[in-house]
Structure 1
Amino acid sequence: MNNSIKIAKKWMNEADAVLITASNGFSISEGLNLFANDQKLKEVLGELQDKYHFQNLLSVFGFKFPNELEQWRAYARIIEFYSINYESSDLMQNLKRMIDKRPYFVWTSNVDHHFDLAGLENNLEVEGNWLEGVCSQDKDHEVVDLKNILHQIYTKDQIGQLTESDIPKCSECGSSLKLNLPGDFFQMNQKKVTKFSDFLQKYQDKNLLVLELGIGPRNEMIKAPSMQLVAGNGKSHFITINKGELYIPDVIAERSIGFSTSIDTAFQELLTGKNLGGQIQGPAKPKPKPTPEQQKKEDETIKLFYPSYMVDRSIRPGELTMYLTVDSKHPSHFHLLQEGQPWMYSLGNSAIAHCFTKDGQYYQVKLGLDKTKGQVHGFYFDAGTFIAFEDAEDNGAGFSQISAGLASNGDTRIMIPKVDKLIEAFPKKKKLINRLSIPD
């Protein structure tokens, strides 16, 4: 156990860069529990809790209030308590000590804006930020900084002077604002998306450490693609901290260490190199690599059960990972898959994959997380398929990010079909083909 702590500390010290991934477990460790029904709920919401009987903080944001004034009164009380009055926690200070002066990026689904408020400004908040507002009628209108507005609402609420004139309005059209959280008008910070993409491009094949904080094993938005990133880079390492539930895929187990303890205890162990009683898993002993014959047999067996569909197919030794981002104005163009490829949803809107197969079939796959809308998280596309991707524009993110597994010894050429030949084979899809093809 002590040896695992020393190895993890060594990985941290020798990393070229650190990718920090964080979800609810980190917020809970800082004292913000969106799921708790406790005395703090009453402390934050006051008489509103007696009036509406909220189950927890999370339920407030989906609650149908009788009017907007009550809604913003509740929002302001929560955000004043947890974000406007936020002071960097010991946990956050220890995280900054561990990063030291290394290049870093934070990839989080938390909406409390704590990383930014603590000075960790290289971050991507993939599910929004409750200190921002967006127009309720037009998602092309600018995002509004609500910090001062929310504080004014809170102050007036406390002295009984809050009126309907204090409800935040869009400066461009006068419509009511909504918090910038997932929904029809959610707006992802595109500048941060670009910075995050640049960070991944720069360090995805270097000695990158992924430090995962409080993310459950079923998290597909951040956990799956970050593990995929580690799987595609043999120089990278993975440290996960999640009390009670650890998940480390076998293919990265020899480069992974898990701390099933509180984040605070794990941080103290990483900073001091001393065992403080936490449960630690890994790194696993290296397993012998399968022979080409064993690998072929494994692939053939998989194909019997999953002729086309496959989840997490790209978390495999010897495969590189490519990230593709598309938006409504810049879809990808049709190209030929010379080898079978797994594609997985990463973040943003769902993505539509248009496919033309070598046996004359057309079909489409929607890569995303909402199974009720027919979306799948991962899909394996067979060799000989012409494929193009476009953003589905279904949750207001403004883009779709997906990743592909690429064989490290594969042909790197991109094969573009002739438009007329593709139309000749699929005349009913002429309009689609013209839109998503590079002109001859």
Structure 2
Amino acid sequence: MYSRKKTSAFTEPSWTPTERLKQAVETAEAIVVGAGAGLSASSGLLYSGPRFETHFEDFIEKYHFPDMYTAGFYPYLTLEEYWAYWSRHIYWNRYDRPVGEAYRLLLEMVGRREYFVLTTNVDHCFQDTGFDEKRIFATQGDYGLWQCSLPCCQRTFKNEESVRRMVELQRNMRIPGELVPRCPVCGRPLTMHLRCDDRFVQDAAWYATQTRCMDFLSRHRTGRVVYLELGVGGNTPAIIKYPFWRLTLENPDAVYACINPEPWPLPEEIASRALWIGADIKKTLEEITDGGAE
């Protein structure tokens, strides 16, 4: 079990950043995890390379896509081709993919104490690893949900059964026309529940999770809190990075830690209580948890 005695995380100047983070975690009263795409990438869920080449060989041959991200934004001429691509994208990133080791190690690290997860990831890895669904706020959507393309209503729709049929029945990079998903309210085509513009649906479940997240942050504005940022890039720093900096600044007992191979300068105002670990996330979590051993 982790030690609960009150000690400073930064009293040993000779410690490495990983050792300092481990001490901060061991003495934390609460941990707020902020996770971006780098956490899934550390678990091998890459959008390019062998995974992409194996599952999308035909799309690569036709369009010369370099990765799934690019392919997802391509303006396909028909809905049948659009959903042939996206059904496979959803399937291989949401329904048929391993639970990443980095996620398992993270759960081992935080599972015994107060925690909350704020993530821009949409692949459902936190839930599938065993994190408490009521402690996860996925702000940007979920591959397992669709919404009206207008949208005509603030509702989302589960897609697993439909996606599996699309993957099974598609031929020549097209799904049968009758499988094109349509809104049960207005009949317009459905689309991915991903935040791309101001049409993103924030349904009742989204707002309920946001409320739980805000309540957790409010309850832990003081005390030994670790704001742990994992694999967050520069596309949406206002969702995780900047709020974590502000919350650390407001709480003199808080620690901010960023694990990311890509360097990011730390604000001077919190430099004495901030860490950047420029290493692989999974490797760092292995060091902190001693490989996940009990």
TM-score interval, smaller chain: 0.7 to 0.9
Separation (CA, whole Å) in 1 of partners of 2:225 and 2:58: 49
1:187 aligns with: 201
- What's the CA shift string for 1:51-89, capped at 9, x where partnerless? 222232111221111100111110111121121013322
Separation (CA, whole Å) in 1 of partners of 2:234 and 2:174: 46
Matched, 1:114 2:125: yes
TM-score by length of 1: 0.58
How far 1:48 sits from its partner (Å)? 2.0
1:87 aligns with: 98
SS in 1 for 2:77: coil
SS in 2 for 1:15: coil
SS in 1 for 2:184: coil
Supply the AA of the counterpart residue of 1:257.
Answer: L
2:286 aligns with: 268
Relative to structure 1, is the Cα distance of residues 181 and 3 closer, same or farther in structure 2, using a 3 angstrom cutoff? closer
1:213 aligns with: 230
Separation (CA, whole Å) in 1 of partners of 2:82 and 2:28: 45
1:428 aligns with: none
* Correspondences of 1:311-322 after superposition (within 5 Å): none
Separation (CA, whole Å) in 2 of partners of 1:256 and 1:264: 20
Relative to structure 1, is the Cα distance of residues 102 and 139 closer, same or farther in structure 2, using a 3 angstrom cutoff? farther
Separation (CA, whole Å) in 1 of partners of 2:161 and 2:281: 32
Matched, 1:251 2:264: no
How far 1:180 sits from its partner (Å)? 0.7
Q: How many residues align structurally?
A: 271
* Correspondences of 1:378-417 after superposition (within 5 Å): none
Separation (CA, whole Å) in 2 of partners of 1:209 and 1:160: 47
Separation (CA, whole Å) in 1 of partners of 2:227 and 2:251: 11
1:226 to 241, 244, 249: 244
Matched, 1:50 2:61: yes
SS in 2 for 1:63: coil
1:203 aligns with: 220
Separation (CA, whole Å) in 1 of partners of 2:251 and 2:173: 58
1:62 aligns with: 73
How far 1:12 sits from its partner (Å)? 0.5
Specify which structure has the bigger relative contact order, considering alpha-carbon pairs within 8 angstroms and separated by 6 or more residues.
2
SS in 2 for 1:129: strand
Supply the AA of the counterpart residue of 2:200.
Answer: F
SS in 1 for 2:33: strand
Supply the AA of the counterpart residue of 1:201.
Answer: S
Separation (CA, whole Å) in 1 of partners of 2:120 and 2:111: 23
Relative to structure 1, is the Cα distance of residues 53 and 5 closer, same or farther in structure 2, using a 3 angstrom cutoff? closer
CA contact (8 A) 2:119 2:136 kept: yes
CA contact (8 A) 1:83 1:113 kept: yes
Separation (CA, whole Å) in 1 of partners of 2:82 and 2:258: 37
How far 1:221 sits from its partner (Å)? 2.9
In structure 1, runs of 5+ residues without a counterpart are 274-440
Matched, 1:241 2:259: yes
Separation (CA, whole Å) in 2 of partners of 1:53 and 1:3: 44
Supply the AA of the counterpart residue of 2:77.
Answer: P
Relative to structure 1, is the Cα distance of residues 160 and 5 closer, same or farther in structure 2, using a 3 angstrom cutoff? closer
Relative to structure 1, is the Cα distance of residues 17 and 231 closer, same or farther in structure 2, using a 3 angstrom cutoff? same
- What's the CA shift string for 1:236-268, capped at 9, x where partnerless? 111210114133212112112221111112112
* % same residue: 24
SS in 2 for 1:18: strand
Matched, 1:26 2:39: yes
How far 1:162 sits from its partner (Å)? 3.7
Separation (CA, whole Å) in 2 of partners of 1:132 and 1:217: 25
2:10 aligns with: none
2:115 aligns with: 104
CA contact (8 A) 1:135 1:185 kept: no
CA RMSD of aligned residues (A): 2.2
CA contact (8 A) 1:211 1:239 kept: yes
1:336 aligns with: none
- Larger strand percent: 1
